[in-house]
Amino acid sequence: MRNSFVLHLTALPHGVVNGRLHNCFCFHFQWEEVSIMDEKNVPIRTYQVCNVLEPNQNNWLRTDWIPRSGAQRVYVEVKFTLRDCNSLPGVTGTCKETFNLYYHESNEDRESYIKESSFIKVDTVAADESFTQVDVGDRIMKLNTEVRDVKVTTRKGFYLAFQDVGACIALVSVRVFYKTCPLTIRNLATFPDTVTGADTSSLVEVRGSCVNQSEEREEPKMYCGADGEWLVPIGGCLCNPGYQEKSGTCKACSVGFYKAKSSDPGCSKCPPHSHSVRDGATVCDCHSGFFRADSDPPSMACTQPPSAPQQLISVVNETSVVLEWAPPRRLGGRSDTSYNYPRPGSGSGSHLCLPCGSDVLFSPGQTGLKTTRVVVSELRAHTHYTFIVHAHNGVSQASGAGAAQSVSVTLTTNQAAPSPVSFIQATDVTRHSLSLAWQQPDRPNGVILEYEVKFYEKDQRERSYRIMRTFSRSVDVTGLNPLTVYVFHVRARTAAGYGEFSAPFEFSTNSDPFPLIGEGVNSAFLLLSISGVGILLLISAAVFIISRRRSKYSKTKQDSEEEKHLNPGVKIYVDPFTYEDPDQAIHEFAKEIDVSSIHIERVIGMGEFGEVCSGRLRVQGKREIYVAIKSLKAGYSDKQRRDFLSEASIMGQFDHPNIIRLEGVVTRCKPLMIITEYMENGSLDAFLRKHDGQFTVIQLVGMLRGIASGMKYLSDMSYVHRDLAARNILVNSNLVCKVSDFGLSRVLEDDPEAAYTTRIPIRWTAPEAIAYRKFTTASDVWSYGIVMWEVVSYGERPYWDMNNQDVIKAMEEGYRLPAPMDCPVVLHQLMLDCWERERAERPTFSQILNMLDKLIRNPGTLRRVGSEVCVSVVPQVCMPEWSMCVWLQSIGLERYRDTLAAAGYTSLDSLLALTHQIKPMHGQHIP
Ligand code: AMP
């Protein structure tokens, strides 16, 4: 850009100071102000001189004072005409074709006289090559334009002067200007109009200032070059939060948009569940009910706290509990859900809840859990606990949500035997006796009923030992041999049975004074003594042999005694049918409930004897609870009454978290009722069918574990269920499974011919129980295997649509149910073990429980899933008749599958028909 002072000679009116030309200081006032017409016939004023005929011309013309205005280098553009000397007739050597340009710097704006020598020459100016001929007569004039630049840095202004040395010249215009780099905006910084430097090569460094609503990213700089061009932009600015760049300015983000940081590239749309209501938002506000955690970036959607964890199940193992749950149904749009356990409350009744002691252990931890499983140990035995699992995420605190994110389970820990006695001390040691004393076990887990001391001579190892029992923590042990090392063990017993024996503690009796043989003792005495010793030895040998025999016997006896003491706290089930008066049994085992405390709400099912309803029970002094109410329909026989109430008499004897709890009975008015705890999720088979495929394997195993635990309890009480099936397991809201339905146990006794009646749940019953009514805990184990299959297959009917006869036959021929879909191999193996033909080969419930506990502890073992080869290899044959396909596979006949299929035998029924057909053909076998 150029800033200029125009000294257009014609355009300058009189009295204008700047740029006015003067003849004032010259020695020869030869320059004349002449008006002429330019090429467009516009009158212009020129300064002319044309003294070509006279020698030694020195004619000066100068301007007024020109203020510098900050310029350091000014440009002088001169327009002029010049006559060619040759074109002038009669001129001699005095004619010139150039003129000189001078300048003089000064602070004085009105210097009237400036010496010639004060002027500094800028240049000698010649006309162009295309020299213009001026034909004044035709008024045709061609102009020369010459520009010269000059550095003016020392004073406030300057004067210009033109020196004619004998040319014929007309100055038409003089324009003086300087150059600037114009105001500009680069990288959101404003750079002002800047005057170029003094030298043609100099760069002026300029610092920019950030435009409105922007901040410096890096100091903005540019260089103003000598020709007025901006060069080398460096640094720049960024729009403030809430603003974005638009055409070199920062504009506010519009409604619905935001910009959080100046470094963000531009305004962004508000993330989901948030909004901005004003221009220039730096963050979007969350919609009502949605939140942002402190650590959430503004670009993140607003989120919600999680809903409560789901399906909390608990598996109690003595004094530890495995708690497992499914993640909340709603995670609130976040992935940082964790779980906390506020310390569980405990108490001997649900109304009394105290925080647990700090000795309760949570593994892997109590807060910030990322897993959905925790093992709580070191709980007190036989105590009610309430565990609350609280789902938490980054916005839980902000939302203030609390109870809505929690789920709780109340359970009772099992009875547990006391821990071993850790220290035994011996005092008052003599040759034949000593006194033992010991400390109470660290964890008695109940009231200690007695201690048992077992001891034996160290040499004898445990081949022969003695047992002593005491109520105190000390005992005097007598009848010991002198100078003998004895080994002692002590164990404690509570209602839950004996704990482990302590580690061995060894103590030695003192020595016998030995009779002296020597001088002064006569030989007869010596002989007597020797023979006496011999006899003694003989007697000792005999006693030893006898005692060895006795001790072997006593060991056997002891074994049986010990066996009896294994679970001395566990009661034995009493068959209510052994009571002559059934009412006596019911009142011994069940509490009579006043019917006014029962509030029936709705019918929930149909039982064998009448409707099953749900309702509430409020017993004085206790909180109201939900109950299930079974009633005996009107018009019942004596036998029906007896059978109906027998279930309550049986149930009333049980007290276990996995056995349905009897609250009481109503027998004093009609209808007769049995009141039990209410199980929100009803029977297990229907529950599983409703939630097909929705549980983790661990959850399924947790359910199975609960059932096994209940069954172990029943078997420990010598109770045989006889009708163990998923339909007879009830499920509560915490997925705790409880064994119920104690009605079938007597049916067979009443009807000796009933082995093949329809009342036998054939698909669930062990072959020996079907064949000759051998119902035992082992046959319950068989049924348990079927329940396992039902659970893993989410309530599928065992043996699908096969009829009972076929099922019985298949069992006889060794067919066993195949692994359900996605069934871990270990679980199917456990089922197969339960279905051993020889009942002695089946596992006990205790072993099943151990096995399931192991699986729960090592969930990795549940990962291996058997593949259903048959289905995947020949789908067209196997899919429609899967059961037959699996049948063949299980009895090792799958290689005949295609042959049989080709022959039209694609169903189990048709295959069984084939078996019948080939029976008479002796010597022919399929395999
Ligand atoms: P039952 O006569 O015991 O087989 O009961 C018939 C049906 O009533 C069962 O299949 C359950 O659906 C329901 N039922 C029985 N007892 C309970 C209970 N304690 N809680 C909830 N539902 C129950």
Q: Which residue has the higher pLDDT, 760 or 163?
A: 163
Is the per-residue pLDDT at 511 higher than 50? yes
Please indicate whether residue 723 is annotated as part of the active site: yes
Q: 517 with 500: CB under 8 angstroms?
A: no
Q: Whose CA is nearest to atom 17 of ligand 1?
A: 628
∠ CA(394), CA(397), CA(398), 5° rounding? 90
pLDDT at 7 exceeding the cut of 60: no
- Ligand 1, atom 23: nearest CA belongs to which residue? 682
Number of residues that this document lists for the chain: 927
Atom of ligand 1 nearest to the CA of 676: 19
Q: Whose CA is nearest to atom 4 of ligand 1?
A: 607
Q: Span 616-644, mean pLDDT? A: 91
How many Cα atoms within 13 Å fall on the side-chain side of residue 266? 5
Lowest mean pLDDT among 278-287, 343-352, 502-511: 343-352
Instruction: Calculate how far, in angstroms, residue 759's C-alpha sits from the geometric centre of ligand 1.
Output: 18
CA distance 694 to 748: 38
pLDDT for 470: 87
879: pLDDT confidence band, cut at 50, 70 and 90?
Answer: very low
pLDDT exceeds 70 at position 612: yes
Helix residue spans in 793-864 (DSSP H): 804-812, 825-834, 845-857
611 marked among binding-site residues: yes
> What is the CB neighbour count within 10 angstroms for residue 600?
15
Q: Which residue has the CA at smallest separation from atom 10 of ligand 1?
A: 683
Q: CA angle 610-611-615, nearest 5°?
A: 140
* C-alpha 723 – ligand 1 centre gap (Å): 15
pLDDT surpassing 50 at residue 793 = yes
pLDDT above 70 for 29: no
More confident residue, 88 or 295: 295
What residue ranges in 341-484 does DSSP mark as E strands? 345-347, 354-355, 361-363, 373-377, 384-392, 406-412, 424-427, 434-438, 450-457, 466-470, 474-477
Q: Find the catalytic residue in 716, 723, 780, 806.
A: 723
Give the model's pLDDT for residue 156: 94
For 306, the token pair is: 């999680």
Comparing 530 with 325, the larger pLDDT belongs to: 325
Cα 410 from Cα 386, distance rounded (Å):
4
Residue 914: pLDDT over 50: no
Residue 741 CA: which ligand 1 atom is closest? 3
* Gap from CA of 246 to ligand 1 centroid (Å): 73
The band of 141, judged by pLDDT with boundaries at 50, 70 and 90, is: low
Which of 689, 721, 730 is the pocket-test mutation for ligand 1 (most atoms within 8 Å of CB)? 730
pLDDT at residue 137, as a whole number: 47
| pLDDT tens-digit map of 542-555 | 433 333 333 332 33
Provide mean pLDDT across the span 426-449.
88
If one residue of 683, 736, 740 were mutated to test the ligand 1 pocket, choosing by the most ligand atoms within 8 A of its CB, it would be 683
* The pLDDT of residue 215: 96
Neighbour count for residue 183 (Cβ, 10 Å): 11
User: 755, 770, 782, 788: which is closest to 839 by C-alpha?
Assistant: 782
Annotated binding residue at 630?
A: yes
749 has pLDDT over 50:
no
User: Which pLDDT belongs to residue 847?
Assistant: 95
CA of 583 to the centre of ligand 1 (A): 24
Tell me if 366 sits within 8 A of 358, measured CB to CB: no
Mind listing the pLDDT tens digit for each residue in 222-245?
999 988 999 888 899 999 999 999
pLDDT, position 520: 33
Q: Is 80 exceeded by the pLDDT of residue 401?
A: no
Q: Which residues contact 562 (CB under 8 A, 6 or more apart)?
A: none
152 labelled as ligand-binding? no
CA of 797 to the centre of ligand 1 (A): 19
What's the CA dihedral at 534, 538, 539, 542 to 10 degrees?
Answer: 170
State both tokens at 135: 């034909």
- Give the distance (Å) from ligand 1 centre to CA of residue 363: 36
pLDDT tops 80 at residue 569: no
Place of tokens 């997925």: 735
Measured by CA distance, the residue closest to atom 12 of ligand 1 is: 682
**Does 607 carry a binding-site annotation?**
yes
Cα–ligand 1 centroid distance for 740 (angstroms):
8
Percent of the chain with pLDDT over 90: 48
Cβ-contact 318, 500 below 8 angstroms: no
* Span of 259-273, 280-294, 477-491, 577-591 with lowest mean pLDDT: 577-591
Token digits for 230? 């901006």
- What digits encode the pLDDT tens for the residues 317-333? 888 899 999 999 999 99
What is the per-residue pLDDT across 683-717, written as a single tens digit (0 to 9) for each? 999 999 999 999 999 999 999 999 999 999 999 99
Annotated ligand binding at 219? The verdict is no
Residue 904 CA to chain centroid, in angstroms? Answer: 54
Question: Where do runs of H (alpha helix) occur along 627-696?
Answer: 638-651, 684-690
Within 6 Å (CB) of ligand 1, which residues are found?
604-605, 607-608, 612, 628, 660, 676, 678-679, 682-683, 730, 740-741
Q: Which of 603, 608, 609, 612 to mutate to test the pocket of ligand 1 (most atoms within 8 A of CB)?
A: 612
Indicate whether 11 pLDDT > 60.
no
Query: Of 21-35, 349-363, 420-434, 439-453, where does the model show the most confidence?
Result: 420-434
Average pLDDT over residues 710-729: 95
Q: What is the pLDDT of residue 22?
A: 52
Q: How far is the CA of 602 from the centre of ligand 1 (A)?
A: 13
What band does 463 get if pLDDT is binned at 50, 70 and 90?
confident
pLDDT at residue 354 in the model: 64
Instruction: Give me the numbers of helices (H) and strands (E) for the chain, helices first please.
Output: 17, 49
- Nearest atom, ligand 1, residue 678 CA: 20
- Paired strand residues for 477: 434
- 605 a known binding residue? yes
CA of 738 to the centre of ligand 1 (A): 11
Q: Which atom of ligand 1 is nearest to the CA of 677?
A: 19
> Is position 812 annotated in a ligand binding site?
no
Rounded mean pLDDT of the chain?
80
pLDDT at 25 over 70: no
Average pLDDT over residues 410-434: 88
What confidence tier does 921 reach under pLDDT thresholds 50, 70, 90? very low
Q: Which atom of ligand 1 is nearest to the CA of 660?
A: 19
Q: What is the pLDDT of residue 891?
A: 43
Which residue's CA is minimally distant from atom 16 of ligand 1? 628
Least confident of 72-81, 137-146, 150-159, 497-506: 137-146
Residue with tokens 């789920």: 407
